[in-house]
A and B are shown apart, each in its own frame.
Chain A
Amino acid sequence: MLRVLFRRRRAFDDLSAEIRAHLEEKTDALVAAGMSRADAAVAARRAFGDVTRLEEAGRDVWRMPTFDSLTADLRHTLRLVRRQPGFAGNIILISGLGIFACATTFSVVSGILLAPLPFPRAERVFEIGMRSSEGFFSAALPVDAYLRIESGSPVIGSITAGYPNDVSVDWGGEPEILDGERVTAGYFRVYGIAPILGRAFTVDEAEQMAPVVLVGNRLWRSRFGSDSSVVGRSVTLNDTAYTVIGVMPPGFRAFYTDEPGFWLPTRVTASVSRFGVNAQVRLKDGIDDRQAAAWFSGAVTARMGSRTTRDSVPATAVLVPIVERVSGDVARPLRILLAAVLLVLLLVAANVATMHLARTAARERELVVRRALGASAFRQAQLLLVESLVLSTIGGAVGTLAAYWAVGGIRILGESVLPRMDAVSLDGRVIAFAAVATAFVGLVGALVPLLTARDRSSDWSGGRVTGTRTSSALVVAQVTLSVVLLVGAGLLVKGFMRVLPSSPGFATENRAAILVSLGRHRDIAPTDSLASRRFVAAVTARMRAVPGVAEVAATTFPPFFGSVSRSEIEVPGQPVPDRPFFAFRNVVTANYFSAMGIPLRQGRAFVEEDRDGAPRVAIVNEAAAARWWPNEPLVIGRQLLFTDEQRTAVTIVGVSRNTRLFGSDSRPRPEIYLPVEQRNPRYVTFIARTTGDPRLVGRELQRAVWAVAPRLPIGTVSDLESIAMRSVRRPRFYAWAMGAFAVAAVALSALAVHGLLAFAVARQRREIGIRLAMGATPRRIGATVLGRAALLGGVGVGLGVVLARGLGRFMESLLVEVTATDAGVFVATAAAALAVAVLSACAPAYRALRVDPSDALRND
């Protein structure tokens, strides 16, 4: 197109130049024949003919009729922007907002769900899991099954297994615990990657679990200063000297959210992997996933624990695409958000169409005149189309630009919320999506008025306002869509409020936590429970001496940290149930409940007298009490039996309030607390209640541990509040996003109601004037306008509620402790949407009742 334009421009210049040259040559010839120069110039022109007309005729040869009328329409539209900045600005603003929301959301969705994983042909990589005949899935593959597959399968090219393995690193001072990953030698073939420096593990190294290590790229850059001489260097991991044999590629982390610091070799044997392994395979070339799945389900079978009976049930191997492992749990929510933003886009298109429709109706006179002067219907359609497309394109460009900046911020803020944020960017795919969305808004904006106006005759004086019915339908549609979004947001927000960190069941403010694994303590034997207890007491005393620390307690498994221990229990005096009772067990110090702010509902906390030799005691939470003694209000003095130990019985001395063990969005589970002094705590998390910001005392708390056990590797200090917030970050993100969409939707529909009624009042000024003159009260006039708003809003809300009810089940997976039919949310949103509709009609209603009858009748 540009080339054509350029050529044309040159042709025009050439033509003028050669006509000028022709005239000069002729003049010169006439002068040479003896004429005066002035006469010669006139004669030359006379012989040539009308220069302007002929030059124009020459240019016409090059003209492209459609294109030139297009540029005329374009110029017309740009003039429109200058002349009616309000109308043009509104459309640009609204379509810009819509495209902004779409482009931003889509770039997140596309980066997380569509961008290729950072290793070659990731679609050929699968995780092997087991599915029981009861339909339950387990990611643990039995070791014997793994070995069988590894020794020969016709469908796989390579297989690997691995497990997370935190490693303590001694940097020559204060030791640190970092994420590590134990993997087999097949790992590199499965993922199709190789270290960027050095080499991968050999099969022998994996079999012997040799002291060699690969360093993660991020750690290499931060701790080794990107030094390429790191290969061959020795590092002390878990008190053993390891040789660095290579550095992993940048950004590579298989399916983990965070990049591990170290990769260590491992073998797969029953002794190393008691509970099965987490295995991934790359399919053999030429085998498709269906053939592979068929082979696995036939050839790899095992037995899996039942969820309903004490027996085991048959299970077969299933293949799960590796991308499911990476982003499977956010795929559905993200798709729902994308669907929501597309609803916003529909609403934007409808809104823009309403505005175009109103404008077309307002300038019906102009259009009829144009028609009468000979403009073809096609030309008129073209004008509207150009107008609408130009405005939406400006909006789309502005929106995309804004999205570009927003995505930069989201990448940083989203890092801890969603996986794969590094793949999120405003790339070509997003721009293409934004372009399609922009074209959609532009086309709808033009087509609606065009189709409405098809049968418009020339009776513009007749007073019937065309397109009113279409406008009303569009407004109703917008209210409907906004109600759907509002219900969605309402459900999410309600769910989110329920899981706010204010209700985890314990106090999170000013609580520092630090995890210590006694397994890493060289001087404490695993069975030496006395030494373990002494260690806990000594560290607790040290920590309490740290300035700013008010109280220190210890627990084996603090809530929200993800690790738990589960025990099967029996309730003496009750028949053994089909499904065994399980409880999460936690060994705590006597002051744990006061330090964590967990109130006791019945009985007492542990006391110093609860020690070895004294009766064995336990505290259960309310969920446990309700599950095991459903009909007994008081459970103090009842007994429990651990079936997996030496059938120890414990006596309940207290009932504590429920906590949300697995994060704010989890349900309370049955829990049993046991006193440290009667147990052997192997993992200990110290909880320090501080008087100020818990992060300030972190270093001192670590030093308190090292004062008791020098160079014991320990984790960093975390504060419970940020951990609590972390576990609600996804619900919060979904609620925020949906809430933003809903607010935008409601604002748009309010604008639409307002626009329609303001326009109607303006058009009907004369009619209102007559009515007032005939004795109608202004109140009645105002009520009519508000009544229309209520009607539009009411129909929209009704349809919206029905639609939201139908769409609700798609949202269930996002909802925590709220059902998709939550009556409160529906009633509240319906009322809110209706109120907004009526409120947005107040200004037009006011204007209607302020109409001065004499004025209105005189001026029209």
Chain B
Amino acid sequence: MPSPAPRVLFPGALEMMVLRILTREPLHGYALVLRIRQASNDLLQVEEGSLYPALQRLLKAGLVRATWETSATNRRVRVYRLTPAGSRRLAAEVSSFEQMLEGVSRVLALGDA
């Protein structure tokens, strides 16, 4: 297997963000890229293409579904939707991520007082 793209994110973060964004509305790939960039105020610079392997992983795991539809701009696009399994996974991931984040923040906040 070829080595993964140089990461600016920790493993699984991109998938988590995709799932989170899809809870609000179904989106196609390009719109997902725009939405991530917009939601993070351009703080996260994701290599656009790296979204697609992540989407394939989510598809294979059954966390999202994809259908070909026609977009508002009259384009054939592949729209991704969250599956029930996807929302369950998101909930689990988010809570464990928050725990981890909290732990990391506490460690980082050590000793300056």
Contact = CB atoms under 8 A, between A and B. Distances in A.
Pair from one complex: yes
Interface of A: 11, 14-15, 17-19, 21-22, 24-26, 47-51, 53-63
B56 A62 contact: yes
A808 to B, nearest CB: 62
A15 B50 CA distance: 12
A47 B48 contact: yes
A26 B49 CA distance: 12
14 contacts: A17-B76, A18-B77, A19-B29, A21-B75, A21-B76, A21-B77, A49-B47, A49-B48, A49-B50, A57-B4, A57-B53, A58-B53, A58-B55, A58-B56
B66 interface: yes
Given A21-B78, A22-B29, A61 B48 contact: no
Shortest 3 CB-CB contacts between residues of A and residues of B: A49-B49, A54-B49, A61-B56
Contact of A25 (B1, B4, B30): B30
B49 A18 contact: no
A24 B47 CA distance: 16
A347 B3 CA distance: 50
A1 to B, nearest CB: 17
> Which of A26, A50, A53, A54 has the largest number of chain B CB atoms within 10 A?
A54
- What secondary structure prevails in chain A residues at the interface with B? helix
Contacts of A47: 47-48
B59 interface: yes
Given A61-B60, A62-B56, A19 B2 contact: no
B88 interface: no
A19 B76 CA distance: 12
A18 B1 contact: no
Given A18-B77, A19-B52, A54-B50, 6 more contacts: A14-B68, A18-B78, A49-B48, A49-B49, A61-B59, A62-B60
A53 B49 CA distance: 9
B65 interface: no
B5 interface: yes
Contact of B66 (A14, A26, A55): A14
B20 interface: no
B2 A53 contact: yes
A15 B76 contact: no
A14 B68 CA distance: 9
Contacts, number: 78
Interface residues of B, number: 26
A62 B78 CA distance: 18
A54 B29 contact: no
Nearest to B1: A60
Interface of B: 1-2, 4-5, 28-30, 33, 47-50, 52-53, 55-57, 59-60, 66, 68, 73, 75-78
Contacts of A62: 56, 60
Contacts of A57: 2, 4-5, 52-53
A53 B60 CA distance: 19
Nearest to B61: A61
> Which of B5, B56, B66 has the largest number of chain A CB atoms within 10 A?
B56
A54 B30 contact: no
A803 B1 CA distance: 56
B48 A18 contact: no
B78 A17 contact: yes
Contacts of A17: 76, 78
A49 B77 CA distance: 20
B49 A48 contact: yes
B60 to A, nearest CB: 5
Nearest to A62: B60
A18 B67 CA distance: 11
Contacts of A11: 56, 59
Contacts of A26: 30, 48
A378 to B, nearest CB: 18
A7 to B, nearest CB: 10
Given A14-B66, A18-B28, A49-B47, A55 B52 contact: yes
Given A18-B78, A57-B53, A61-B56, A48 B2 contact: no
A62 B48 CA distance: 21
B30 A51 contact: no
A24 to B, nearest CB: 8
Nearest to B55: A58
Contacts of A61: 53, 56-57, 59-60
A328 B32 CA distance: 78
B30 A50 contact: no
Given A26-B48, A49-B47, A60-B2, A21 B30 contact: yes
Contacts of B4: 57
A18 B33 CA distance: 13
Nearest to B58: A61
B19 to A, nearest CB: 16
> Which of B4, B33, B52, B77 has the largest number of chain A CB atoms within 10 A?
B52
Nearest to A44: B48
> Which of A15, A58, A59, A63 has the largest number of chain B CB atoms within 10 A?
A58
A399 to B, nearest CB: 41
Given A57-B2, A61-B57, A50 B49 contact: yes
A22 B57 CA distance: 18
Contacts of B48: 22, 26, 47-49
B56 A51 contact: no
A15 B52 contact: yes
Given A11-B59, A60-B2, A54 B77 contact: no
